[in-house]
């Protein structure tokens, strides 16, 4: 059958009806004639594409393309926004145990200038032992700031301690039993990990960090080289401070997560301290914190299983940060700096913590104000996946 005829053939009933009522051509009424022989497009409904103009077809085709693109882009963005690493269960075995009277045997004492420009003098093991700034018993280890010397005897900075673990780690589960966290005007304590000889290339993980009065909670932060961002899906209870982990971004603040007041300082100490746990693995870095009465039983029994701990305080997933390439050769570091870039800044020293006068002058002249500026640890344990 001819395609044109097939497409334009009138309905048989309609044709018969029109033939029966048609007058001779010579006498045909103009409207009657047009009804039979008019433009073919008049036969189609507005929804029939065969009757659409080229302009209409192009317009509608463009609309379809826009809708398809929007759906595809939306789907891609949705998938990207929901990306999240697989923190599957790992079986951990104890590798290192820092505890008892030999606690500080696991560390080297740092005596160089403070990299954070603090008003502090870091002293060696012999001096710190003589001044009782580091000590350890069967049940705990203490690291503190000098509370003896003032004025001219502290003119170049108050004496304190910074120690770095002899062992280094590429991954692992770190359990830090903390009985007392340091606080007080001018203080800047931290429990952290880094490669001191290759910073920031090999990364830095601040597990516990706070300044001055210590009433604003702990902060866990990463500092890295370029191409490490946390602007992705995360599962954490803390409050995000910044998302770009590049060490120079946001005024050298890294990508931090802030805790509540109970996670550090006087409130944390009043509950007998507790445990901070940090897991470093290719899937990401996570930090948990519990007060003494809420420590999971698998930690106290020596069989830690992070897959049962629930939401972390801070979650740094590998989604847009290659953890394995950004964090290498990590050493555990404990220190208490004084003043410096963070604690000494007026925004934090004066406005946030209402500390008196100039930070350096206060630290120099007020030895007895540092009675609470000490760490006390029940011990550290490092586990690695078997």
Catalytic residue among 9, 14, 108, 204: 204
- DSSP string for residues in 350-384: IIIT---S-HHHHHHH-GGGGTT-EEEEEEEEEEE
| Cα–Cα distance for residue pair 69/299, rounded to 1 Å | 51
- The first and second tokens of residue 98, run together, are 């820092």
Catalytic residue among 209, 243, 261, 267: 209
| Cα–Cα distance for residue pair 27/249, rounded to 1 Å | 90
Instruction: Establish whether 204 is a catalytic residue.
Output: yes
Residues with Cβ within 8 Å of 137's Cβ and at least 6 positions away in sequence, in order, are: 100, 101
Residues with Cβ within 8 Å of 248's Cβ and at least 6 positions away in sequence, in order, are: none
Number of Cβ within a 10 Å radius of residue 326: 22
Number of Cβ within a 10 Å radius of residue 290: 18
Instruction: Establish whether 209 is a catalytic residue.
Output: yes
Q: Where are the beta strands (DSSP E) in 230-283?
A: 239-240, 255-258, 274-281
Closest Cα to residue 153, out of 366, 339, 369? 366
**Torsion sign over Cα 100, 102, 104, 105:** negative
Supply the residues annotated as catalytic. 204, 209
């Amino acid at each position: 059958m001819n395609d044109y005829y097939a497409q334009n053939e009138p309905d048989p009933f309609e044709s018969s009806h029109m033939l029966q009522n048609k007058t001779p051509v010579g006498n045909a009424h103009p409207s009657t004639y047009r009804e039979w022989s008019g433009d073919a497009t008049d036969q189609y409904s507005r929804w029939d594409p065969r009757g659409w103009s080229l302009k209409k077809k192009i317009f509608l085709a463009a609309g379809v393309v826009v809708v398809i693109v929007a759906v595809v882009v939306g789907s891609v963005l949705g998938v990207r926004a929901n990306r999240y690493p697989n923190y599957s269960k790992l079986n951990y075995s104890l590798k290192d145990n820092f505890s008892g009277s030999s606690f500080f045997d696991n560390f080297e004492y740092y005596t160089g200038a403070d990299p954070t420009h603090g008003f502090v003098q870091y002293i060696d093991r012999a001096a710190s032992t003589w001044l009782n700034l580091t000590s350890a018993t069967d049940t705990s280890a203490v690291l503190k700031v000098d509370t003896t010397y003032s004025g001219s005897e502290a003119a170049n900075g108050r004496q304190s301690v910074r120690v770095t673990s002899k062992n280094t780690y590429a991954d692992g589960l770190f359990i830090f039993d903390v009985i007392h966290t340091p606080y007080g005007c001018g203080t800047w304590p931290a429990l952290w990990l880094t490669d001191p000889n290759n910073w920031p290339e090999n990364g830095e993980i601040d597990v516990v960090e706070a300044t001055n009065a210590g009433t604003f909670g702990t902060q866990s932060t990463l500092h890295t080289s370029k191409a490490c961002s946390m602007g992705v899906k995360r599962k954490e209870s803390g409050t995000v401070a910044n998302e770009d982990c590049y060490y120079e971004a946001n005024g050298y603040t890294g990508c931090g997560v802030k805790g509540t007041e109970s996670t550090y300082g006087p409130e944390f100490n009043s509950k007998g301290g507790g445990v901070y746990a940090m897991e470093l693995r290719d899937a990401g870095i996570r930090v948990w914190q519990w007060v003494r009465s809420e420590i999971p039983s698998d930690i106290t029994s020596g069989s830690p299983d992070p897959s049962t701990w629930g939401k972390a305080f801070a979650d740094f997933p590998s989604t847009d940060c290659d953890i394995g390439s950004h964090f290498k050769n990590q050493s555990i570091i404990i220190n208490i700096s004084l003043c410096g870039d963070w604690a000494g800044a007026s925004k934090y020293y004066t406005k946030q913590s209402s500390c008196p006068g100039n930070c350096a002058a206060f630290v120099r002249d007020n030895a007895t104000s540092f009675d609470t500026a000490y760490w006390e640890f029940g011990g550290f344990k490092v586990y690695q996946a078997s």
